[in-house]
Amino acid sequence: MKTNQSFSLGQCEVNTIENKLLCGESECVLQPKFIELLCFLVMRYPELVTREDLIDGVWDGNQFVGEKALTNAIWHLRKTFKELDPAHAYIATVRKTGYRLAQQPVFLDTQKPKSEVKPQLTPIKKSKQVLFSRVKIAVMITIVMVCIAFFNFKRQIQSPEPFKFTPLSEHVETITTSPGRELYPAISNDSHFIVYSWRRPGQQANLYIRDLFSPEQAAIALTESSFLEGRAVFSPDLNNIFYYRRDEQRQCVIVKQNITTAATRVLATCGQGRSTDLDINAAGNQLVFISDDKNDHTQTQLNIVDLKSRELAITRVPCSGNCDFNDESVVFSPDGKQLVVSRNLASGYEELFLVEIATGSAKQLTSGFVDIRGVDWHPSKNLLVFSGVDQGKRHGYFYELATGRLVDAHIDGLSYPEYSQDGSLYFHQWDIDSTLMRVETNNVLASSPFPVLSTHFNTRFPDYSATKNKLVFVSNESGSMELWIANKDGTQRKKLTQLNATIYSPVWSPDGRYIAFVVSKNEVNSLRIYDFNSQTSSQLNTGLNYHGKPSWAPDSKTILISNNNELYRFNLNGDNLGKAIEQSTMYAYEDKHGALIFADIAAKQLWIKRPDSGHAQLLVESINLSNHSSWYYVEGATQTLSRVYYFNVERDDYRLSYYDFSTQSQHDLMRLPERAFSRSSGLTYIENIGWLVYTSYKSPQIDIKRIKAEYLP
């Protein structure tokens, strides 16, 4: 379906006769199908249009052609709009459902909007009975008929009145600009002061306070210690702050500190080596924090501190039902009776839950998020704001508790948001692209890192095949995170998949025929195999709810995979051949002799289980791995000629290092700036030229931003 009327969208005009897009002085001619798709969205504005409906209307219901053609068309339209008008978003994606226009169309002959109804928040799930039939679409010839059909349609459905939402990108203000990374903003009740964690280049992170009423004044350090301080909250009377801190052994404690005297008191312990969070209620008499479960240290528990009792008594929030999860972020409701918690589930997804403090009963709010980076509750509305990760990037979302509606705020990088009492929103903006870098290890002096792939897209998880002489990696170059291969110098890139999912840890089989990789989509974490003979990928049905980084047996016939605790072996039919080792681990490498090299669950030791032994033996007693899979075993002719390259992170000290089996000693290749590499995206080695290839972040700068209440929903 295509209208002959030209129209404007935001800053651009669409000439439907000439298939032309004009924005200011720039113009671009598009394929007719792209214009037809855009017209379809215009005729349905402001409604959500499902992928099925778009394929029916634009590609005559041809699902085989339409699936890929629709994804390609959406990507090209977004790319063209972004090139011509980078300041605005034009097409919004509704997770697992479809698309809608983010700008209101105006037909140029009447200069009147097609509909006076304000854009609505998109429901997380929408019934197919509210979709227009193709018969209705066909009769929408003129603007008047479109309006009549739209309003008649609106009268047929019953939906709550949406809350107001306006574009936000032009209203973002920068609050901090110092070198380094300023994280986790906390705002005082009178909106006068902000406390945040400042990780200065080459220095330990500390907490700083700043006067928002006098922005010209320098920030003042509240902590100058050997500890690593994290997120803080103010007491309502502004006399104290509460925060968590970690020592050199990563032991975590909750601390109360007087702002004036700097006197501190440890209130509780909060575990070791895992994420934690805390919040204070509006009355200022209770503090909630996340700690390790006292009965099962692989899980977490929620704790309430009574700040008004002399002994600061701590009670545990009950857990009802299945408690197989790890809490990561927590916030009080305005009345202090409920909590919203982000929970890492056994499936590998992280979702928001509404928890009753008295009973522990929990209701899941979101679905389909692989990672969440902070959540907050509006001080006077039933409205949440949170940071969700999609296609490897952080985005801000609003969630209306009364209706369950979700909307993308269109603010890339929004992380750990916090409302002030006046309803303004503060957050740190983690909007950093990743790229593949290489370091030459064969030189006497290690070279400076040099880009293998330096694009405007995110590239992660490199793995090299000596058989194919190719790198495999994950990139969002096509608009979604997909599997790609390229030459070792980054040339001749080729996309292998079109899954529109979150992809992790691709690994070549030794014979070069397969690539095993992990996929998260529609709340399912699965293991897939790409076969170069058929040039298709298929799911390997393991029966596991979660899959860590895979690895291959030397004969390319079986795969080793962990369920986040135990390591299993599977054949290519998906048959579970049993545990590979008895010890808990999240990743292992099998050498050509059948020996298994793996890290312990704390990622502090390397072990080996030889094929002729029933028990594993300690290989490297003390190693400082940044992640369970952030190491690469370079296998020599014998084990004494082998090496393990790894990311070495010791607080604010970031290094690329290796363990030499011949000398049984550890060596540093180079020291790198903080967060110069991704701890979780792995690394690989190209032996014939001595290149160590890894994922690097492009910028070390993170600033705190603000959007004033008057612009927010």
340 with 192, same domain: the answer is yes
Alpha helices in 134-289 (DSSP H): 134-138, 143-156
Task: Provide the pLDDT for residue 183.
Answer: 93
450 with 378, same domain: the answer is no
Contact 648, 677 (CB under 8 A): no
Q: Which of 184, 183, 212, 213 is nearest to 200 (CA)?
A: 183
Contact 399, 387 (CB under 8 A): no
Domain count within the chain: 3
* Distance of alpha carbon 395 from alpha carbon 408, whole angstroms: 7
Of residues 333 and 19, the one with the higher pLDDT is: 333
Asked whether residue 408 is domain-assigned, the answer is yes
Classify residue 130 by its DSSP letter. Answer: G
Residue with token string 């690469």: 632
Start-to-end CA distance of the chain, whole Å, equals: 34
pLDDT tens across 531-569, in order?
Answer: 999 999 999 999 998 899 999 999 999 999 998 889 999
* Distance of alpha carbon 215 from alpha carbon 291, whole angstroms: 36
* Distance of alpha carbon 178 from alpha carbon 432, whole angstroms: 17
Task: Provide the pLDDT for residue 133.
Answer: 39
Three-state DSSP state, 548: coil
Residue with token string 């096509």: 478
pLDDT tens across 368-383, in order?
Answer: 888 899 999 999 999 9
Question: For all residues of the chain together, what is the average pLDDT?
Answer: 84
Backbone angles phi and psi of 711, in degrees to 5: -100, -5
Q: Report, as an integer, the average pLDDT of 445-463.
A: 77
* Distance of alpha carbon 635 from alpha carbon 393, whole angstroms: 34
Task: Provide the pLDDT for residue 132.
Answer: 37
- Please give the helix or strand (H or E) that residue 36 lies within, else none: helix 32-44
Q: What percent of the chain has pLDDT over 70?
A: 87
Task: Provide the pLDDT for residue 279.
Answer: 97
Residues 6+ apart with CB under 8 A from 485: 468, 470, 471, 472, 473, 493, 494, 496
292 with 370, same domain: the answer is yes
Band the pLDDT of 166: cuts 50, 70, 90: low
Q: Report, as an integer, the average pLDDT of 402-416.
A: 91
pLDDT surpasses 50 at 486: yes
- Give the HSE-up count for residue 113: Cα atoms under 13 Å, Cβ half-sphere: 14
pLDDT surpasses 60 at 66: yes
> 40 is written with which tokens?
């379809």
Of residues 50 and 240, the one with the higher pLDDT is: 240
pLDDT surpasses 50 at 577: yes
Q: What angle do CA 307, 308, 310 make, to 5 degrees?
A: 95
Query: What order do you get walking across the sheet with 576-579 strand by strand?
Result: 551-552, 558-562, 567-571, 576-579
> 668 is written with which tokens?
């540093």
Asked whether residue 33 is domain-assigned, the answer is yes
Q: Which of 234, 378, 251 is nearest to 243 (CA)?
A: 234
Asked whether residue 115 is domain-assigned, the answer is no
Asked whether residue 205 is domain-assigned, the answer is yes
248 with 346, same domain: the answer is yes
Task: Provide the pLDDT for residue 109.
Answer: 58
Rg (CA), the chain: 27
Q: Which of 203, 201, 211, 210 is nearest to 229 (CA)?
A: 203
- Give the HSE-up count for residue 503: Cα atoms under 13 Å, Cβ half-sphere: 31
Report the CATH number that the domain containing residue 33 is assigned in CATH: 1.10.10.10
Three-state DSSP state, 74: helix
Lowest mean pLDDT among 406-415, 487-496, 651-660: 651-660
Domain's final residue, options 107, 135, 154: 107
In Å, how far are 557, 565, 685 from 549, measured between CA atoms?
17, 12, 17
pLDDT tens across 201-226, in order?
Answer: 667 789 999 999 988 888 999 998 88
pLDDT tens across 308-343, in order?
Answer: 998 899 999 998 777 888 899 999 999 999 999 999
Residues 6+ apart with CB under 8 A from 44: 100, 132, 137
> Exposed, middle or buried, 346 (CB in 10 Å: 0-12/13-18/19+)?
middle
> Checking DSSP bridges between strand 105-107 and strand 98-101, what pairing results, if any?
unpaired
- For the chain, give the number of residues: 713
pLDDT surpasses 70 at 349: yes
pLDDT surpasses 80 at 273: no
> 165 is written with which tokens?
């939402």
570 with 634, same domain: the answer is yes
Task: Provide the pLDDT for residue 147.
Answer: 39
Contact 267, 286 (CB under 8 A): no
pTM above 0.85, yes or no: no
> 365 is written with which tokens?
């709010």
In Å, how far are 402, 495, 511 from 160, measured between CA atoms?
9, 43, 57
368 with 265, same domain: the answer is yes
Task: Provide the pLDDT for residue 29.
Answer: 81
> Exposed, middle or buried, 604 (CB in 10 Å: 0-12/13-18/19+)?
middle
Band the pLDDT of 142: cuts 50, 70, 90: very low
Band the pLDDT of 454: cuts 50, 70, 90: low
pLDDT tens across 97-128, in order?
Answer: 788 888 888 887 543 333 333 334 333 333 33
Asked whether residue 138 is domain-assigned, the answer is no
Task: Provide the pLDDT for residue 445.
Answer: 57
Q: Which of 499, 505, 473 is nearest to 487 (CA)?
A: 473
Give the structural domain span for 474. Answer: 434-697
Task: Provide the pLDDT for residue 491.
Answer: 86
467 with 489, same domain: the answer is yes
Band the pLDDT of 400: cuts 50, 70, 90: very high
Within 469-579, strands assigned E span: 470-475, 482-486, 494-495, 502-508, 514-521, 524-531, 536-540, 551-552, 558-562, 567-571, 576-579
Asked whether residue 660 is domain-assigned, the answer is yes
Q: What percent of the chain has pLDDT over 90?
A: 43
Residue with token string 């972040």: 697
338 with 419, same domain: the answer is yes
471 with 587, same domain: the answer is yes
383 with 525, same domain: the answer is no
Q: What is the dihedral of CA 532, 533, 537, 541, to 10 degrees?
A: -120
> 67 is written with which tokens?
């699936």
* Distance of alpha carbon 543 from alpha carbon 550, whole angstroms: 15
450 with 538, same domain: the answer is yes
Three-state DSSP state, 406: strand
Within 350-449, strands assigned E span: 350-356, 362-364, 372-377, 383-390, 393-400, 405-412, 414-419, 425-429, 434-440
187 with 330, same domain: the answer is yes
* Residue type present at position 170: E
Asked whether residue 152 is domain-assigned, the answer is no
> 66 is written with which tokens?
């339409």
Report the CATH number that the domain containing residue 564 is assigned in CATH: 2.120.10.30
pLDDT surpasses 70 at 703: yes
Asked whether residue 88 is domain-assigned, the answer is yes
Band the pLDDT of 64: cuts 50, 70, 90: low
